[in-house]
Amino acid sequence: MQAYRYLTGKDDAAFCHRVTSASNAGSSLYGQPTLTFDSKTGTVICGQVIVKDVPDRAYAPDLDLSKL
């Protein structure tokens, strides 16, 4: 199975740590990161797709993909 996640969050160190943690847990970056500006809060929001091959699992809708 290949797990897909789209991580989003404020463009700050915490977001970078989430992506780094996922990468160190075996996920790979997929595609380019995205950025948008939230004019209500004055913050930049990041998004990054990550994928991870999980050969010993079969997909099921109730999987917690953040735990793979």
Q: Which two tokens stand for residue 46?
A: 């990041």
Task: Give per-residue pLDDT as tens, 9-66.
Answer: 999 999 999 999 999 999 999 999 999 999 999 999 999 999 999 999 999 999 999 8
Within 8 A by CB and 6+ apart from 3, the residues are 27, 51, 52, 53, 54, 63, 65, 68
Q: Are 23 and 29 in contact (CB under 8 A)?
A: yes
Report the pLDDT value the prediction gives residue 49, as an integer from 0 to 100.
98
Separation between Cα atoms, residue 47 and residue 63, nearest integer Å: 22
Per domain, the residue ranges of the chain are 2-54
